[in-house]
Amino acid sequence: MPRSAAAVLRRAADGCADRLLAAQPVIRADSLMPDGDTPVHYARVACRRLRSDVRTFRRLLDEPWTRRVRANLKWLAELLGAARDAEVLRARLRETASPGSHWGELPGGRPALAVGAFDEALRERAVSARADLLVALDSARFPLLVAMLGEPGFRGRARRRAADVLPALADVQVRKYEDAVADLTDEAPDEQWHEVRILAKRARYAVDLAGRRREAKQLAKVQSLLGEHQDAVVAAEAWRELSPADPVTALRLIERERAAAERARAAFLATPSIPGR
């Protein structure tokens, strides 16, 4: 018997709950997931994906449930995001500043001590973000969220076949992404590029839930370019904030990140917005 839209959406909610429960003890142990991913990233992706799916397919979902779930997923995703940002920045600093990277040694032979000061500042951010996250996981709100995910509410249309209702709603997100890409230029501000990245992610999750796996994979490829752009932009801003520790090193790191952002822009603009569509 063909699956209903409600069954597909219920499976998505259950999947998010499973990932959050799997990540929780690993976060506490400060270890890695079995696949080598960090538990913070693993859980954050689960939150972001379900938030996106609930937004895209909200016409099929009970409005009070949708409102409560989105608010609680946002709460947890922001805490996970702070911890994940520190992870990404520390890894990016090691790559960007390493003499063995494709960038080569920092001009002027900047000492490791200068980069170490930046890393220590990021480590402190990570420790603080982890402490906040652990408080959240110990709160009553976390198990309440997991329980809520197990009891989604649906509207009448959700009883129809998934193939009859999900694709049209997914296409709304695809069109928003395509329209945004049509207005994108190499000179567009970082904020506009970031918005396109968000729309690409929503479109990717939407078509994946609608069963269009090939299209989702194609969107994942362009999303990775947009993600590299955003990571470089965020890193450049982080080095600017930390510049008082060593202005010269900060300037060199910022230059490298802006160059990385420009390469990502060029690569994205040279790629079809949705290859093969």
Alpha-carbon span 113 to 255, nearest angstrom = 20
Chain mean position to CA 183: 23
Q: Does domain 1-160 have CATH number 3.10.180.10?
A: no
pLDDT in tens, 43-62: 999 999 999 999 999 999 99
Q: What share of the chain is helix, strand, coil (3-state, %, to 5)?
A: 80, 0, 20
Alpha-carbon span 232 to 227, nearest angstrom = 9
Spell out, as residue ranges, where the chain has pLDDT lower than 50.
1, 276-277
Residues 6+ away with beta carbon under 8 Å from 230: 193, 194, 197
Pair 9, 61: CB distance under 8 Å: yes
* 152, β-bridge pairs: none
* 61, β-bridge pairs: 154
- Supply the pTM of this predicted model: 0.92
Residues 6+ away with beta carbon under 8 Å from 6: 60, 152, 154, 158, 159
Backbone angles phi, psi at 275, to 5 degrees: -55, 135
Instruction: List the one residue out of 153, 179, 167 whose CA is nearest residue 208.
Output: 167
Helical pair 5-29 and 141-149, crossing angle rounded to 10 deg: 150
Instruction: List the one residue out of 195, 217, 222 whose CA is nearest residue 205.
Output: 217
Where are the chain's structural domains? 1-160, 161-277
Alpha-carbon span 32 to 27, nearest angstrom = 8
Residues 6+ away with beta carbon under 8 Å from 75: 136, 141
Instruction: List the one residue out of 88, 71, 76 whose CA is nearest residue 21.
Output: 76
Alpha-carbon span 22 to 15, nearest angstrom = 10
Alpha-carbon span 196 to 57, nearest angstrom = 20
Backbone angles phi, psi at 154, to 5 degrees: -125, 155
Q: What is the pLDDT of residue 110?
A: 58
Please list the alpha-helical segments (H only) found in 39-99.
39-56, 63-97
Pair 134, 24: CB distance under 8 Å: no
